[in-house]
Chains A and B, each alone.
Chain A
Amino acid sequence: MALGIGIALIAVTCLFALWIVRLAGNNVRNFDESKHESFIGK
């Protein structure tokens, strides 16, 4: 039981990391510099 939960936890952690890499990677590729504005708090 504990072994199964532990392996599931490790799998979730790995899948989360891969999901973020994919999500952010796509956003970097599709970034449109012309729509960007520096946030300087004004």
Chain B
Amino acid sequence: MNTQTHHHEKDKQDLNKFGYAQELLRSMGGFSNFAISFSIISILTGAVSLYGHGLTYGGAGMMGFGWPLVALFVMIVAASMAELASAIPTAGALYHWASILKNKRWGWYTAWINLIGQIGIVAGIDYSVALFADPLLSDVFGYSSTNTTILICFAVILLSHGILNHVGIRSVSRLNDFSAWYHIVIVIVLVVSLAFFSKGSLNSVDYLFKVGETFSDKPYMFAFLIGLLQAQWTFTGFDASAHTIEETVNPRVRAPWGIFTSVAYSFVFGFIMLAIVTLSIQDAGAATGADNAFIYVISEALGGDFGRVILWLVTAAMWFCGLSSITSFSRMMYAFSRDKGMPFSKQWAQISKKFRTPAKAIWLSVVLSFLLALIDYIIKRNNPDTTYTTIAFLTAVSVVGLYVAYGIPILLKLIAKSQGKFQAKHLGPWHLGKYSDIIGILGLLWIVFISVIMVIPPNEMAGYALGGMIIVLIIMDFAYYKNHFPGPQAALGTSMAEILRREKELESNPSGGSGISHNG
């Protein structure tokens, strides 16, 4: 038996222990697992699309201080999550961890909060692509870019991601691998271009750490905290390495590395990119006053045509980011539906026999993300005087939703450990040893801190939206799911014969048919 076959069999047995059949195609290697998180973090999406936000509130110092500060604490959170991924390697990840560490209701709330964050992140990413692509397309085709054309562009981008994700994990996995290299190459191209064309006019390094200058009407310290959204939103989505864990070979080692190293490498390359872009700013006031500060800075530094080429390359990187985010979102929804946690769960848990992908969950991800942006579009159309930006709204929703969902299992693991339920023998190969608790506590403190920061004015609309969604969840819970959600624990009762039957059914019919669903 070769090493690969041995890993496949061991990974399948590990999954079977939790009562689940190996339904998804397990073909992702370590780099692919890293690549999907690195692509969703996408320094060329978050850091770029919210560059104006960071610069407006925190000035140049936001890039010098804000980025590494946020990165440090996000790495602390990521390390705690990586440890859990190694211990409990199932696609449900966050919600599955919460269910097993405490009970099914904690898991149910974690899943929904994570889903809300995932809707926000997919919508935020693809809306960012549209915000960059639409003005560039309007230059080419000679039309005026408006909120309506941006929304149409957004819908087309979502559609392209839905189709590719439906067609198969192999092609998406290859594109994710390509995306990781693409991000690195584009950052290098951007850095070299700016260094070459701006070498005579670059600011001194001191400028990168300039504090006290804000282009908002808020006091500097307060403005600086609001500006942290730029870095904090960029560092989201690394749970994708855990959501694709049932498609990864040797996941107890590779998924945790994917989670942690995707954050670490994003910090390094993101800092290099932000540093050179910020050092090439000639007039920060004019940049923050422009429609898009990043486009303004690049156009000023590199000139019209070359600047546009760079912006197209950056937009393509954002597109890759959106592709990966739908993969992650749909896997989470598939796992949650497999445990009957959503309305019409049976539908969303279906696997396409032809492509071995959760096809219906993929399309639901697309529809929900579009609806979130559509609602915001309608609100703005009826209230043209609203002051918040769509991108800040979407990103704040995703940051709070995702980080609260990241924090719940970390908290529950600390509690389970203090009660003696979770012991050293339960840890996977990737763990933090005696530093596990202190790293977990620091991560939780950061999550509480940023969850508050992200919903204070001017982002209070995100707070209202999240509050409203939590109320709906509580109603759903008490009205139905409190008594009817079986949770992942129910799967433990699945017989090995039933698990093998499901696996055989998929293997014996690799093409044709619309899908396989979960019974009973």
Q: How many residues of A contact B (CB 8 A)?
A: 26
Docked Cα-Cα span, A2 to B86, in Å, equals 39
Instruction: Please name all residues of chain B whose beta carbon is closer than 8 Å to the beta carbon of A39 when the two chains form the complex.
Output: 87-88, 100-101, 422, 426
Instruction: Please name all residues of chain A whose beta carbon is closer than 8 Å to the beta carbon of B208 when the two chains form the complex.
Output: 6
Instruction: Please name all residues of chain A whose beta carbon is closer than 8 Å to the beta carbon of B425 when the two chains form the complex.
Output: 35-37
Docked Cα-Cα span, A40 to B87, in Å, equals 10
Instruction: Please name all residues of chain B whose beta carbon is closer than 8 Å to the beta carbon of A17 when the two chains form the complex.
Output: 75, 264, 267
Q: Write out, one digit per residue, whether chain B residues 82-126 have a CB within 8 A of any chain A CB (1) or not (0).
A: 100001100000000001110000000000000000000000000
**In the complex, residue of chain A having the shortest beta-carbon distance to the beta carbon of B88:** A39
Q: Is A10 touching B426 in the complex (CB atoms < 8 A)?
A: no
Q: Write out, one digit per residue, whether chain B residues 148-165 have a CB within 8 A of any chain A CB (1) or not (0).
A: 000000000000000000
Q: Is B209 touching A5 in the complex (CB atoms < 8 A)?
A: yes
Q: Is B428 touching A3 in the complex (CB atoms < 8 A)?
A: no
Query: B279 an interface residue at 8 Å Cβ cutoff?
Result: no
Among the 9-residue stretches B221-229, B234-242, B429-437, B497-505, the one with 4 or more Cβ atoms under 8 Å from chain A is: B429-437
Question: Interface range on chain B: under 10, 10 to 19, 20 to 34, or 35 or more?
Answer: 35 or more
Q: Is B432 touching A12 in the complex (CB atoms < 8 A)?
A: no
Query: B65 an interface residue at 8 Å Cβ cutoff?
Result: yes
Given A12-B72, A13-B75, A38-B209 contact (CB < 8 Å): no
Q: Write out, one digit per residue, whether chain A residues 13-42 have a CB within 8 A of any chain B CB (1) or not (0).
A: 110110011011001100100011111111
Docked Cα-Cα span, A2 to B435, in Å, equals 31
Q: Which residues of B (455-498) have their CB < 8 Å from a CB of A?
A: 489, 492
Instruction: Please name all residues of chain A whose beta carbon is closer than 8 Å to the beta carbon of B100 when the two chains form the complex.
Output: 39-41
**In the complex, residue of chain B having the shortest beta-carbon distance to the beta carbon of A8:** B68
Instruction: Please name all residues of chain A whose beta carbon is closer than 8 Å to the beta carbon of B14 when the two chains form the complex.
Output: 38
Query: B392 an interface residue at 8 Å Cβ cutoff?
Result: no
Instruction: Please name all residues of chain A whose beta carbon is closer than 8 Å to the beta carbon of B101 when the two chains form the complex.
Output: 39, 41
Tell me, rounded to whole Å, the shortest Cβ–Cβ distance linking A33 to chain B.
8
Given A3-B206, A6-B208, A24-B432, A13-B267 contact (CB < 8 Å): yes
Q: Is B75 touching A16 in the complex (CB atoms < 8 A)?
A: yes
Docked Cα-Cα span, A36 to B425, in Å, equals 5
Instruction: Please name all residues of chain A whose beta carbon is closer than 8 Å to the beta carbon of B17 when the two chains form the complex.
Output: 38, 40
Q: Is B429 touching A6 in the complex (CB atoms < 8 A)?
A: no
Instruction: Please name all residues of chain A whose beta carbon is closer than 8 Å to the beta carbon of B71 when the two chains form the complex.
Output: 13
Instruction: Please name all residues of chain A whose beta carbon is closer than 8 Å to the beta carbon of B431 when the two chains form the complex.
Output: 24, 27
Which one of A23, A27, A40 lies within 8 Å of B18 (CB-CB)? A40
Query: B69 an interface residue at 8 Å Cβ cutoff?
Result: yes
- List, sorted by A's number, 27 A–B pairs whose CB atoms are closer than 8 Å: A2-B211, A3-B206, A5-B209, A9-B69, A10-B68, A13-B68, A13-B75, A16-B75, A20-B260, A21-B260, A23-B432, A24-B82, A24-B260, A27-B429, A27-B430, A27-B431, A28-B429, A36-B425, A36-B428, A37-B426, A38-B14, A39-B100, A40-B17, A40-B489, A40-B492, A41-B101, A42-B492
> Beyond A13-B71, A23-B432, A24-B260: 11 further Cβ-contacts under 8 Å?
A2-B61, A2-B209, A9-B65, A9-B68, A14-B268, A24-B257, A24-B430, A28-B253, A31-B429, A40-B492, A41-B99
